[in-house]
Amino acid sequence: MSEQTLFKVTVDNITIEVPAGTTILQAARQIGGAVAPPAMCYYSKLEGTGGKCRTCLVEVSKGSEKDPRPMPKLVASCRTTVMDGMEVKNITSEKVIDARAAVVEFLLLNHPLDCPICDQAGECHLQDLSFEHGKADTRYEFQRRSFKKHDLGKYIQLHMTRCILCYRCVFIADQLTNKREHGILDRGDHTEIATHIEKSLDNEFIGNVIDVCPVGALTDKTFRFKNRVWFLKPMDAHRNCPTCSGRVTLWNRGDEVFRVTARKDEWGEIEDTPDGKPGWICNTCRFDKKHTNDWVIEGPRAISRQSVIAQGHYAGNIGTTLPTEIFKAVNDGRAPHLLMDIHNESEVNLPSVRLSEIEGPSHGNTFNNNSTKA
Amino acid sequence: MSLQFNNEQMTEFKRLVAHYPEGKQKSALLPALNLAQDSFGGWLPTEAMDYVASLLKIEPIEVYEVATFYSMYNLKPVGKFVFEVCQTGPCMISGSDNIIAYIQKQLDIKPGETTKDGIFTLKLVECLGACGYAPMMQVGKIYREHLTKEKVDAIIEEYRMQVVALN
Amino acid sequence: MGVKLLLEKANVPGIRTYDVYRREGGYTAAEKALKEMSIEAIVEEVKKSGLRGRGGAGFPAGMKWSFIAKPEGVPRHLVCNADESEPGTFKDRYLMEFLPHLLLEGLLISSFALGSNDTYIYIRGEYAWVADILEDAIVEATKNGWLGKNILGTGFDCMVHVHRGAGAYICGEETALIESLEGKRGNPRIKPPFPAIQGLWMRPTVVNNVETLAAVVPIIKMGGVEYAKIGVGRSTGTKLISACGNINKPGVYEIDMTISVEDFIYSDEYCGGIAGGKKLKACIPGGSSVPILPANLLLKTAKGETRYMNYESLSDGGFATGSMMGSGGFIVLDEDQCIVKNTLTLARFYRHESCGQCSPCREGTGWMEKILQKIELGKGESSDIDLLWDIQRKIEGNTICPLGDAAAWPVAAAIRHFRDEFEWHIQNRELSQTSNFGLQHYADPIHVPA
């Protein structure tokens, strides 16, 4: 298949040309904004991911120019490649909105909803997904499932109850480390991520599972309960690391480094380094370099992925591309959050507050009306 | 490592692996675990799984993932004879509930439990493909079909006699 | 007596052994195929026969074969799906147990046609003694030159390997089966790529059901055109039906698909009527995942026409008033059976067998089971029925593999046709714990609109 061959694909009435072999999801991401389907398990930098969570289901209303028949079922956009002349409906499809609400309900069925004590809150993809596509309450009345606790060592905290089984962390271990020690155990609704025998995960690159986990199932033990992410100031920084690229985002409060993560793009995925490779970081950078003087600070980090809680508080903004024709009854007349200005609804979330740019630590009153503007 | 196949078992293991092309020896994992379970007392301790991993040159986690997925692998010790009674639709409409209750009463154990003497384990399982001969259960390799209370009594007695004969 | 192509010799004493099978005309089709026919001619005969996959989906076998990719230097594989696990289905077990050489002959011809030098039989782990029977048959066939190197001097090498599973319904799905055959968890793959392009060890692979492959033998013997003359419409040839439940004569029957459902249930040649002189209440005609039908819709279509045991007639009326041929697992329920309880055991089955990979199936199957359990225990509320309906609707079509559909359909059909029984359970919480709703109107003649 030649790289030169371009296919015309239309997503929510916006047409774009992409190389043959591109998935519907990637094509939609090139358009950007609300047209891009949400993805909980797919991760473009990890081979083999996708297809499992079913949040990215879309309707293919026209298969291609050659064979215009619509596809009979909704398809996983992350694993379906475009055909020339294909027409796809994402948020303009009633069926998609309905199916996605169903997937959100299924994902939340056994989820503990312990956001108030979860370190992922504020940057959690499941929070965003639920806010955007979910319903306000649950119809589930049975006991939620629980798991035996597993200790993964001094760096990584596993909360299996929060896991949505995206398998990303397993792909990380397969593709970044030379020996996988955790995996998918059991089956059906008892499936869990575990090591089977108590074992700490020690590989130098295993910390990346924290960055790829879409929910709070795998979190950073060195950051546990230390702070809420939306009180932290993201700063781009680097160091001369013998193991990894050393390019990171520091999450500071004042001058104190609370945590270190890789740099992420607007889809919440690891950014590439200048040499075009994914910028995975090593455990040393992530867990052991917690002093400002370990790092060369480059400047405020533009966090370009919108999130429900953190919306507007970071330096970056994503462009919101609107479909030309939006399905009217989306979410009972409610627009998806990417199209919605949360500041209309909440006084504390002033859009003018740029966390990375305020002097010193941020506090609750940083968000009050009289707070410093960037 | 103390758990090991004896010569005969090792010959069988090698026969199983030989079914698959060079470098695809992981394919033999399921048959190898079946063999290990039969060889090491009807269940798979972690040691047995690690042993199989080393023989097939794969990571232990790959074995754990598989062993926990398939319902026939016992990850806890079981009795000498495991009564795996089918409870799915066709068996249910043919009276499997009564048979299950009767076995519980006769052996004085609940599903998932083993008798104190370590002879019997009762396991409730889903469809075993003997719907026309319902109600039924599997004991080891054998299907016991068209179960009645009398038949259950006879089967229990038969296995008790086997144990006596062995001792 | 209907035509018998597969089970004709099943009752010949010793037919399990090579000598008797050969004496009774066995391996003549293989001889004909390998010595007298080209690969294209074999595929052409299978196409002409109209043979549809006997595992449940009913996809034309010849067409499936023609999809296989043939890249230079890459081995291809035929895999026989003997992971028969659909509740109500036990026909493949019967075939393998009594006629192992018939399957091997079918495998040999098919392997030759597909160019598979290493062919695998993936048999469900519980059928351990059947696996032994197959292993013995393979040894016999190899000894007599029907498997191994340079078969019949044609230069074609073929070995058949038996691979025992270890308890997982999901491995009946062809890509999960392939994963399992590679020594992994039985998680279905996301398609594309399809197995015909990248299957076992990423090589082109065809996965066929036991009965499908066995049927290749009579097709080669009599020719595709003659085979297609048996049966009716697109339901060609013969089909094995495994009948079970509340009937007088449960067992495996070979039918030529021209018999009516009523004759199949009541004639002495087949099921022999409902056991204990009771009345027929309902039937799941094609394995547990296909829609259950009440007696009246089972025997007659919504148009008032006689329903026959074939693909088209059983699905007449779509899911609204019809069902499916499926895998041929024919489960009969008498007047004393409780539809709620039956649906619960099936929901439990599908929850137990869900691989857990994709969210609608992993979460939805357990949810449906819990609600059904609640109704069965006399704690249901009237909103539960609509909730169940909504959940099954949201699982169906939204999962990676057909297990989601298989879990949704029985629940949907039970509510569609037996909603008043569910309502009775909910309105009579205590009574429902000690008695059954019974036959009620489910066998009454249906009103046919003029």
DSSP string, chain B: ------HHHHHHHHHHHTTS-TT-GGGGHHHHHHHHHHHTTSS--HHHHHHHHHHHT--HHHHHHHHHHSTT--SS---SEEEEEE-SHHHHHTTHHHHHHHHHHHHT--TT-B-TTSSEEEEEES--S-GGG-S-EEETTEEE-S--HHHHHHHHHHHHHHHHHH-
Surface of C (167-226) touching B: CB under 8 A: 167-169, 180-186, 201
Smallest Cα distance from A106 to chain C, Å:
6
pLDDT band at A325 (very low <50, low <70, confident <90, very high): low
User: Nearest CA to A195 among A162, A156, A226?
Assistant: A156
Lowest mean pLDDT among A116-125, B85-94, B104-113, C203-212: A116-125
CB contacts of C370 in chain A (<8 Å) are: 142
- Whole-angstrom distance, CA of residue C408 vs CA of residue C402: 10
Report the residue count for chain B.
167
Smallest Cα distance from A188 to chain B, Å:
9
- Same topology, domains C18-229 and C240-334? Answer is no
Averaged pLDDT, B123-128: 96
Does the pLDDT of residue A54 top 90, yes or no? yes
Nearest CB among A179, A187, A196 relative to B64 is that of A196
3-state secondary structure of C245: strand
pLDDT band at A324 (very low <50, low <70, confident <90, very high): low
| Yes or no, beta carbons of A184 and B62 under 8 Å apart | no
Tell me: domain C18-229, CATH 3.60.20.10, correct? Answer: no
φ/ψ of residue A249, rounded to 5: -115, 125
Nearest CB among B33, B70, B141 relative to C128 is that of B141
Chain centre to alpha carbon of residue A355: 20
Chain B, chain C: beta-carbon pairs less than 8 Å apart = 148
| Yes or no, beta carbons of C363 and A109 under 8 Å apart | yes
Q: What is the CATH number of domain C339-434?
A: 1.20.1440.230
Q: Hey, which residues does A14 pair with through a beta bridge?
A: A11
> How crowded is residue A15: how many other Cβ atoms within 10 Å of its Cβ?
11
ipTM of the modeled complex? 0.96
Q: Where are the domains of chain C?
A: 18-229, 240-334, 339-434
C310-328 pLDDT tens trace: 999 999 999 999 999 999 9
Nearest CB among A179, A183, A197 relative to B65 is that of A183
Best mutation target among A52, A107, A109 (most C Cβ atoms within 10 Å) is: A52
Vertex B34 angle, CA B30 and B40, to 5° = 135
Nearest CB among B61, B68, B69 relative to A180 is that of B61
Subunits next to B (3 or more Cβ pairs <8 Å) are: A, C
pLDDT given at position A374: 37
Q: Which residues contact A207 (CB under 8 A, 6 or more apart)?
A: A155, A156, A220, A281, A282, A283, A286, A287
Chain B CA closest to residue A195 = B61
pLDDT given at position C448: 79
- Whole-angstrom distance, CA of residue A84 vs CA of residue A86: 6
- Are C131 and C92 in contact, with CB atoms under 8 Å apart? no
- Whole-angstrom distance, CA of residue C439 vs CA of residue C432: 14
**Tokens 């035929």 -> residue:** C78
Does the pLDDT of residue A366 top 80, yes or no? no
| Yes or no, beta carbons of C341 and B92 under 8 Å apart | yes
Q: C305-342 b/e with 16+ CB inside 10 Å = b?
A: eebbbbbebbbbbeeebbbbbbbbbbbbbbbbbbbbbb
CB contacts of B64 in chain A (<8 Å) are: 183, 185, 196-197
Q: Where are the domains of chain A?
A: 6-104, 118-225, 230-374
Does the pLDDT of residue C303 top 50, yes or no? yes
| Yes or no, beta carbons of B27 and C163 under 8 Å apart | yes
Looking at domain A118-225, its CATH class is: alpha beta
> How crowded is residue B143: how many other Cβ atoms within 10 Å of its Cβ?
21
Averaged pLDDT, C224-238: 94
Structure tokens at A104: 């959100």
Smallest Cα distance from B94 to chain C, Å:
6
- Whole-angstrom distance, CA of residue C220 vs CA of residue C28: 9
CB contacts of C363 in chain A (<8 Å) are: 106-107, 109-110, 189
Sign of CA dihedral C98, C99, C104, C106: negative
pLDDT band at C411 (very low <50, low <70, confident <90, very high): very high
pLDDT given at position A4: 75
**Tokens 């994402």 -> residue:** A90
- Are C381 and C371 in contact, with CB atoms under 8 Å apart? no
3-state secondary structure of A140: coil
A62-102 pLDDT tens trace: 999 999 999 999 999 999 999 999 999 998 888 998 999 99
Establish if C356 touches chain A: CB-CB under 8 angstroms: yes
Surface of B (7-66) touching C: CB under 8 A: 19-21, 24, 26-31, 33-34, 56, 58, 62, 65-66
Chain A CA closest to residue B61 = A181
Nearest CB among B59, B65, B68 relative to A179 is that of B59
pLDDT given at position A367: 62
- Are A258 and A287 in contact, with CB atoms under 8 Å apart? no
Averaged pLDDT, B32-38: 96
pLDDT given at position A309: 54
A251-281 pLDDT tens trace: 988 889 999 999 998 888 999 999 999 999 9
Question: SS3 helix, strand, coil % of chain A, rounded to 5?
Answer: 25, 20, 60
pLDDT band at A49 (very low <50, low <70, confident <90, very high): very high
Q: What is the CATH number of domain A6-104?
A: 3.10.20.740
Nearest CB among A76, A98, A191 relative to C190 is that of A76
A178-223 pLDDT tens trace: 999 999 999 999 999 999 887 888 899 999 999 999 999 999 999 9
A8-35 pLDDT tens trace: 999 998 999 999 999 999 999 998 777 8
CB contacts of C353 in chain A (<8 Å) are: 188
Surface of C (160-199) touching A: CB under 8 A: 168, 185, 190
| Yes or no, beta carbons of C366 and A188 under 8 Å apart | yes
pLDDT given at position C278: 97
Establish if A196 touches chain B: CB-CB under 8 angstroms: yes
C322-365 pLDDT tens trace: 999 999 999 999 999 999 999 999 999 999 999 999 999 999 99
- Whole-angstrom distance, CA of residue C181 vs CA of residue A219: 35
Q: CATH: 1.10.3210.10, 3.10.20.600, 3.30.1230.10, 3.60.21.10. Which one for C240-334? A: 3.10.20.600
Chain A CA closest to residue B46 = A197
Q: CA dist C174 to A269, C164, C179, Å? A: 33, 15, 9
CB contacts of A165 in chain C (<8 Å) are: 356-357, 359, 362
Establish if C358 touches chain A: CB-CB under 8 angstroms: yes
Surface of C (238-277) touching B: CB under 8 A: 242-246, 250-252
Structure tokens at B152: 């259950």
| Yes or no, beta carbons of A187 and B59 under 8 Å apart | no
Does the pLDDT of residue A320 top 70, yes or no? no
